[in-house]
Amino acid sequence: MPTYALRRAGGPRRMAAAAATASLTCAALLAGAPGSAAAPPGSYAVKGVDTSHHNHDATGRDIDWKRVARNNHFAFLKATQGTTNKDPWFARDFKAASATSLLRAPYHFFDPKSTKDGAAQADHFIRTARATGYTGTRAGELPPVLDVEKVWVDKKEVCPEALRSDQLGVFLKRVKSAFGVTPVVYTRASFVRECMGGKGEVFKGYPLWLARYGSGANEPQPVPGAGAWSFWQYTESEAIPGLPGKNGTVGTGDRNVFRGTLAQLRAMANLGGTPMPQPPASWPVVKSGQRGVDVATVQLLLTERGYTTSADGVFGSGTAANVKAFQRAEGLTADGVVGPHTWDELIVTVKPGAKGPAVKALQRQLTDNGHPVTADGVHGPDTAAKLKAFQKTARLTADGIAGPHTWAALVSHH
């Protein structure tokens, strides 16, 4: 390992101050809380772990992978870092994990030392993974993973100095070509905002594994330019039977959930079943001078959030002023442009039985997306039926609840 540790830490801006991390729940959002309503990690049925040599530090003993497999469906194991570092436990752990029912894959921690090292890091990772027999296409093998996050330097978590989006793209394309499968990307929305200028388009089309801790039902915020999560790392300190702890105790480690079903995860792991859903859509940019249903959606959501705005579908000076006021209140750049950061904070989750401007925005979006419904501001049976129909066509969970994934699909689907 280099001079910094590879720990997942922190969360998005607003939750950091409250020691939280996430984005999804109706009551909280309608009350003006950050994020978006959803379900807590415990409600997801497909669970997994990720490990590295850190999980052996306390005792140096082996992980009991058979025991881990009793309570988990998948595992991501650290293989490499940078252009030369190999996790000393990877080969042994991967072999042992492969002898269980766990669906598994190796991951690479991207550690940029120059502006042109994407190919070198990819080649190092590919060689190391292949040396264990991993191909990416064997039964039980999940796609390889790229880990992109902050690093620890002098006891501080900082953005990697030499990080370049084009080199991340080089890495992903090279790994995809080598193994013939689309890699998974581990990161978080806050990293993309702070370390990549909010430009996460390089990750678009890749399943995302996002971190957000201690946030109850709040899920990770969508990555600007790329979309929402497929895997959610919700803690770094859960007791996991099979991980070695001090004095014979159960060790703690990272725990994750998968957004889909076990059949979908098995399909991703070359075991048949239902194919993986497409990555959730990303947010459009709505700004002054534009017209249409997306503008009306912004206006109605502003009204829902207490910034009364005429829903005429024209992004004029009054709408711009209210967008800026909302942005200032949320600690965002007050530029009057509704981009991914503003959408993340503006949307509210709408459930059946809800009433008000946000429901009208939902109904107008459904109509514009080919599922006509009266815009009466009441989320009744007809609205729920039309919403479920749209969710099915967009390959989302058809639950009749408009959360971040559904809103993003609606406003980007035209």
Name the band, by pLDDT with cuts 50, 70 and 90, for residue 125: very high
| pLDDT tens, residue by residue, 33-45 | 233 345 789 889 9
- Which run of H or of E encompasses 72? none
What are the residue boundaries of the structural domains of the chain, listed by start? Answer: 13-268, 293-412
213 burial level (CB within 10 Å; 0-12, 13-18, 19+): buried
| pLDDT tens, residue by residue, 167-225 | 999 999 999 999 999 999 999 999 999 999 999 999 988 999 999 998 887 889 889 88
| pLDDT tens, residue by residue, 6-26 | 333 333 323 332 222 222 222
Distance CA 277, CA 394 (A): 9
Name the band, by pLDDT with cuts 50, 70 and 90, for residue 334: very high
Distance CA 37, CA 19 (A): 18
User: pLDDT at position 15, please?
Assistant: 30
| Top-tier CATH class for 293-412 | mainly alpha
User: pLDDT at position 153, please?
Assistant: 87
Domains 13-268 and 293-412 fall in the same CATH topology: no
Work out the average pLDDT over 356-372.
93
Is residue 200 within 8 Å of 223, Cβ to Cβ? yes
Q: What 8-state DSSP symbol labels residue 223?
A: B
| Top-tier CATH class for 13-268 | alpha beta
Distance CA 171, CA 161 (A): 17
